[in-house]
């Protein structure tokens, strides 16, 4: 408790008298569980860089675990931070080995500032998640492949195959991508797999008349958009396929048992939960 009182008092004293800036709030950066990128700069050259893992966030304070890619021997440092002046000013304290005070402000899409007592400046930015990707299947299932369902205890990975002039989403069965088209189940040995290396939160959202924002698009074809979807059969198995159609009248189809199966309701759409 005494340490917390000391930290808050010190942070407040450091930011006293600073003018309020009209910009994005620093609270948008320092959120629970968020990973930020930092770098320090001296005479125009980058002298340090790494990540900040944000935790223990309150309305005005937070902790940050600082890794240093430029100096791994420094180990993980614990910084204590505060946000002031209507979210425009940030102070970070390292009260461990390095005894540093970082004072910065919101500047567009980053935090910029100076380390007190020297001529080193710093920048802090949000670490952007790597987007979802479609990668060619080469005989081995890539890491972080997105599951679109399961059958008989096996995952059915989301895939897409190019057929009749367009990419159609479906499910990996064995070493093929199975899609529904023209009343038949099409089995394609050449296909791509959806991967999520950036660990973007995903959710299967039940269709309710409109395509949700950030729905995962797999392909287009002459005025049509094919979104990744899934459906649960009466036997409990879940199968991936495509959602398409005019506004308010979307349908879902997938390949099963050699046929193209069409569902008019109860299907779900894959959506990225973008922060």
* Tokens 């050699």 -> residue: 258
> Distances in Å between the alpha carbon of 179 and those of 72, 125, 219, 224, 261?
48, 41, 13, 16, 10
Contact yes or no for 218/179 (Cβ under 8 A): no
Q: Domain segments of the chain: what residues? A: 2-126, 133-272
- The confidence score (pLDDT) of residue 35 equals 86
- The confidence score (pLDDT) of residue 7 equals 52
The CATH number of 2-126, from 2.40.128, 2.60.40, 2.50.20, 2.40.50, is 2.40.128
- The confidence score (pLDDT) of residue 33 equals 86
Contact yes or no for 88/23 (Cβ under 8 A): yes
- The confidence score (pLDDT) of residue 258 equals 97
Reported pTM? 0.60
Q: CA-to-CA distance for 205 and 158, rounded, in angstroms?
A: 16
Each residue's pLDDT, cut to its tens digit, for the chain (275 residues) gives: 334 434 544 554 454 444 433 446 888 888 898 888 999 999 889 998 999 999 999 989 999 999 888 777 778 889 999 999 888 999 999 987 778 999 999 888 889 999 998 899 999 987 666 789 999 999 999 999 999 999 999 999 999 999 999 999 999 999 999 999 999 999 999 999 999 987 788 999 999 999 999 999 999 998 899 999 999 999 999 999 999 999 999 999 999 999 999 999 999 999 998 65
The region, left, alpha or beta by phi > 0 then psi within -120 to 50, assigned to residue 228 is: beta
- The confidence score (pLDDT) of residue 20 equals 39
Listed in sequence order, the residues at least 6 apart from 223 whose beta carbon sits closer than 8 Å to its beta carbon are none
* Tokens 């890539």 -> residue: 142
């Amino acid at each position: 408790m005494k340490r917390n009182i000391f930290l808050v008092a010190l942070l407040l004293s450091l930011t006293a008298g600073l003018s309020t800036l009209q910009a994005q709030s620093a609270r948008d950066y320092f959120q629970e569980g968020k990973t930020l990128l930092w770098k320090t700069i001296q005479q125009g050259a980058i002298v340090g860089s790494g990540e900040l893992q944000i935790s223990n966030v309150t309305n005005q304070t937070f902790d940050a675990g600082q890794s240093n890619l430029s100096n791994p021997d420094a180990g993980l440092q614990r910084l204590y931070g505060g946000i002031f002046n209507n979210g425009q000013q940030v102070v970070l304290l390292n009260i461990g080995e390095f005894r540093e005070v970082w004072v910065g402000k919101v500047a567009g899409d980053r935090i910029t500032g100076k380390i007190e007592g020297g001529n080193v400046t710093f920048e802090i930015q949000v670490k952007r998640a790597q987007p979802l990707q479609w990668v060619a299947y080469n005989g081995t299932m890539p890491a972080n492949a997105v599951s679109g369902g399961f059958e008989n205890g096996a995952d059915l990975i989301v895939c897409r195959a190019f057929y009749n002039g367009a990419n159609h989403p479906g499910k990996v069965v064995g070493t093929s991508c199975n899609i529904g088209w023209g009343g038949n189940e099409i089995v394609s040995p050449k296909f791509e797999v959806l991967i999520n290396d950036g660990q973007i939160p995903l959710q299967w959202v039940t269709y309710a008349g409109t395509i949700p924002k950030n729905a995962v698009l797999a392909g287009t074809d002459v005025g049509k958009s094919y979104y990744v979807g899934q459906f649960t059969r009466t036997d409990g198995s879940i199968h991936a396929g495509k959602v398409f159609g005019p506004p308010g009248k979307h349908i879902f189809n997938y390949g099963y048992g050699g046929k193209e199966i069409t569902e008019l309701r109860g299907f779900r759409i894959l959506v990225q939960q973008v922060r």
